[in-house]
Structure 1
Amino acid sequence: MRIVLLTPNRRFIANQYGLGYQIPLGLVFIGGPLIDVGHAVKLIDNDLHGWPAAKLIAEITTFAPDCIMLGHTGSTAAHDVCLRTASELRMAFPMRASSMVGCIQPTPPRKACAPAQP
């Protein structure tokens, strides 16, 4: 299976003025074992690249994934950009896109965010 692990382009202020850029360790920790069992994995850290949707979709299309997994740091701050990115991915890849939102400690109440999810 070909899998894209994606961090959205959220350009969080803490990257510049706070703690600094955060490596997407969760996606790295998922990617390693996936590679170990034979999957082709591509990590796209769009928080680092800052690509617009068209460039991101072109990069993903070139890899031709079977699955796109979206992950992020900072649940509350990243929520809106994650929903926007998921919507863009669903439009670009309707046969591959399914959405699941969750984390260790989700801050937004389910009723507030579930209707907005693509």
Structure 2
Amino acid sequence: MSYDFPDDLLHAQRDLDQATADLHALYATLPISAEPTEAYRDDRETGYWHARERPASPGWTEEQKRQVADARARRLELTSAVVTHVFWATLGGPDAVKARSALKHATEAAAEGPEST
């Protein structure tokens, strides 16, 4: 089934996809822990059945914490715009679920461009 999504909903979903990618990219640049932590290594000798190890983390700076908070707030704002869009009131039950999935795929296809088909 094909859905005639409003332009503002498509734009909101594309922006949400980009905001999610931006947040993941930001996380990839940050230390492993938001708060300073010491390194640790655990194994069977220290009472753990599965070996695990983490390097020390200096924690996030105040600027990094602000960047994450801003990125998460933007993602939340866009998620709300997509989920509460008036378009969804025109559908019910399984059709709403199918349309939501179709919206995600519609923006993926648009991002890939016509040469990918």
TM, length-normalised to structure 1? 0.21
TM, length-normalised to structure 2? 0.21
Please identify which structure carries the higher strand content.
1
Find the structure with the greater CA-based Rg: 2
